[in-house]
Amino acid sequence: MSDIRAYESSSPRIAAGGEGEFGDYVALLKPRVMSLVVFTAFVGLYVAPVSVNPVVAFASVLFIALGGGASGALNMWYDADIDAVMNRTRKRPVPAGRVSAGEALGVGLFLSGLAVLMLGLAANWFAAAFLAFTIFFYAVIYTVFLKRSTPQNIVIGGAAGAFPPMVGWACATGGISIEPLLMFALIFFWTPPHFWALALFMKEDYHKAGVPMLTVTHGRTATRRHIFVYTLVLAPFAVALGLTPVGGPLYLSVALVLNVLFIRGGWQILRRTEAQAQADDYRTEKGFFRLSLYYLALHFAALALQATVGTW
Ligand code: HEM
Ligand SMILES: CC(C)=CCC/C(C)=C/CC/C(C)=C/COP(=O)(O)OP(=O)(O)O
């Protein structure tokens, strides 16, 4: 029996079905995380060198958002057993018994199908197929296979979160080129420091749930080293994007400042001892996690602004 089915049958409220309210179904779609995913998809579409009918653009972003949300519901269906154990996630609708696992699966599958179909009709079938692949990557490759089996889970799984700007670009152009590939690289190499910073101050959660996050398998010192190395690997991709046709002086200046700050943050994380971190309740690590969110949002905001005022 899979973990999730074992969990469902041991939980009568879940097996019997929940009494979810509208807000619970919205929570299934992980709206806060997806907001940044959707923003990167929008920017991918917006900066593409093809003018898109505003209605088509709006519909495309809406259906990408729906697909992203659907993949979140599928993740919550499969991960209900893990989510029930971790403090951060135990109040989610499925582990808390407000929505049944079956319902989460149904919502996830239905919205995935709807989003892919509608994106195909609104934009093009290449973009729709790419969206379908992205949902599959997050809900199946990351959630089902990688998350529980390897500390490289989020490194490889991070690709799912890095695809949306490519999907956005594909909506506008019907294809892919170097600019969306660099946007992909920007998110792909950003994800490990983003997540491992959080894992540093939430290690107990993952340990309890038996999820092989790097902090659990290799310890915090190794995780600190990994974070710093990724900030170094990330910077050239972020800056290189500014040298492509979607770049310009504004983006480049923002990227330079953000990458200096991010590398400095990674360096501070590296230099900290566990005793120091515990003494101030992981203040630096929490600050670095917050910085990671600004880092990505501001890169994409700068790209959009650059496209508005004019690129190279
Ligand atoms: C495999 C890749 C990733 C992992 C494992 C990961 C993990 C996490 C976790 C565990 C949180 C904690 C807070 C929460 O539950 O809300 C979080 C927060 C967040 N993540 Fe990620 N993340 C990943 C990729 C991404 C990507 C690609 C984006 C956007 C492009 C993103 C955007 C966010 C945002 C905006 C938050 C803050 C949510 C809030 O306000 O609470 N993450 N991430
Ligand atoms: C368009 C489309 C399909 C987008 C998908 C984008 C995507 C995969 C974003 C990654 C999101 C994310 C928060 C992963 C968290 O890992 P987790 O699920 O292990 O986190 P948890 O512990 O909070 O459940």
* Predicted local distance difference test score (pLDDT) of residue 202: 86
Segment (H or E) for 174? none
* Predicted local distance difference test score (pLDDT) of residue 204: 85
Q: Give residue 37 CA to ligand 1 midpoint distance, Å.
A: 9
Quote the CA–CA distance of 30 and 69 in Å, as a whole number.
6
Total Cβ atoms within 10 A of residue 99: 27
Structural domain spans, the chain: 1-176, 178-312
Residue-wise burial string across 8-19, b where 16 or more C-beta atoms lie within 10 A, e elsewhere:
beebeebeeebe
When mean pLDDT is compared across 17-21, 146-150, 191-195, 264-268, the lowest value belongs to 17-21
| pTM for this predicted structure | 0.92
CATH of 1-176, one of 1.20.140.10, 3.30.70.2860, 1.10.357.140, 3.30.70.1710: 1.10.357.140
Mean residue pLDDT of the chain comes to: 93
* Predicted local distance difference test score (pLDDT) of residue 19: 64
Q: Which two tokens stand for residue 33?
A: 């995380």
Query: Is the pLDDT assigned to residue 2 strictly greater than 70?
Result: no
Query: Is the pLDDT assigned to residue 212 strictly greater than 50?
Result: yes
Closest CA to ligand 2's atom 1: 68
CB of 37 within 6 A of ligand 1: the answer is yes
CB of 192 within 6 A of ligand 1: the answer is no
Q: Give residue 33 CA to ligand 1 midpoint distance, Å.
A: 5
Question: What are the Cα distances from residue 207, in Å, to 61, 80, 203, 217, 279?
Answer: 37, 16, 6, 9, 21
For Cα atoms 125, 186, 238, give the angle at the middle one, nearest 5 degrees: 130
Count the helices and strands in the chain (H runs, E runs): 17, 0
Which of the ligands is closest to the CA of residue 300? 1
Query: Is the pLDDT assigned to residue 7 strictly greater than 90?
Result: no
